[in-house]
Amino acid sequence: MLPPSIPTSFVPRSAGVARRRFDFDLTSSLGFLAYILLAVVFALAIGVFSYESILTNNKNVKQATLDKATAAIDSATVKNFVRLRNRLDAGYSLIENHVAFSNFFALFETLIPVTVRFTSLHLALNDTKAVRLDGSGVAKSFNALAVASAAFAADGRIKDAIFPNIVVSSKDGSVSFALTAMLDPKLIAFSPTASAAPVSKLPQESASTTPTL
C-alpha cells in the first residue's frame, strides 16, 4: 500500500497553459518598462520646462539691465565719439597716403658729393606706389660721379641707379650726365620718426668705382 502523500494518479499540464503564463509575464514586463519610460520622459519634460524658465528669467534681467544702460547714454556724447572716430580714420588715411619729400632730399644731400650738382630732378609715383627718379646734372670729374653711384648702391634706398648720356667736357674735364633710378616708397612716405641717414659711410672721391652707364 502506497503512502498517502504520494498521489495515485498524475495529470500533466497542457502546453497551452504554460504558454499563457509566459505571455502574461512578458506583457507585464513590457508594461513595467513602458511606465519607466513614461516617468523618464516626464522628468525630462519637467527639466526642459525649468531650464526654459531659467533662461527666460536671465534674458529678462539682462534686457532690463541693457534698457537701463541705454537710457543712461547721452546722445550728444555718442555723436561726439562717432565724429572723433571719423576724424581719426580720415587722419590715418591722409597720413598713409601723404607724400613727404623731405626725407628724400635729406638723404640725397647726404649721399651726393659736393662736386656733383643736379640741374633737374623729377619724381613720379605710379599706381603701384613705385617711385621713379629722373634727373640730370654735372660732376666735376668722372670719379665724383663714381662716388655718387657707389653711395647709392651702399645705401640701398635709391635702387637701380643708371647714369646715361655721359659727356666729358674737353674744356675742364667736367662730366654732364643723366640719372634714372627707382626709390624705396618708404623714402617718400610721411613718418615723423623716419631717418634719412645712409646705412654706410660715403666713399671718398678718389674711389675707382665705375658708375652704371
State whether the Cα torsion 136-140-146-147 is positive or negative.
negative
Cα–chain center distance at 148 = 40
As a whole number of angstroms, the distance between CA 176 and CA 173 comes to 10
Let me know if residue 72 belongs to a domain. Answer: no
Q: Tell whether the model's pLDDT for residue 194 goes beyond 60.
A: no
Let me know if residue 207 belongs to a domain. Answer: no
Task: Quote the pLDDT of residue 201.
Answer: 45
Identify the three-state secondary structure at position 41: helix
> pLDDT for 114-169, tens place per residue?
888 888 988 887 777 778 889 899 988 888 888 888 888 888 888 888 888 888 88
CB 163 within 8 A of CB 149: yes
Domain membership of residue 31 as a residue range: 15-59
Of 108-112, 114-118, 179-183, 185-189, which gets the smallest average pLDDT? Answer: 185-189
Residue of 184, 185, 180, 187 whose CA lies nearest to 133: 180
What total of structural domains would you count in the chain?
Answer: 2
Let me know if residue 34 belongs to a domain. Answer: yes
Q: Nearest 5 degrees, angle CA 43-CA 48-CA 51?
A: 125
Residue 118: give its domain's CATH number.
3.30.70.2830
pLDDT bucket at 112, cuts 50 / 70 / 90:
confident
Q: What percent of the chain has pLDDT over 90?
A: 1
> pLDDT for 9-55, tens place per residue?
555 555 454 455 545 566 777 777 888 888 888 888 898 888 888 99
pTM listed for this prediction: 0.46
Report residue 125: phi and psi, to 5°.
-110, 120
CB-based contacts of 189, cutoff 8 Å, min separation 6 = 98, 99, 100
Task: Quote the pLDDT of residue 75.
Answer: 80
Let me know if residue 152 belongs to a domain. Answer: yes
Q: Nearest 5 degrees, angle CA 164-CA 166-CA 172?
A: 160
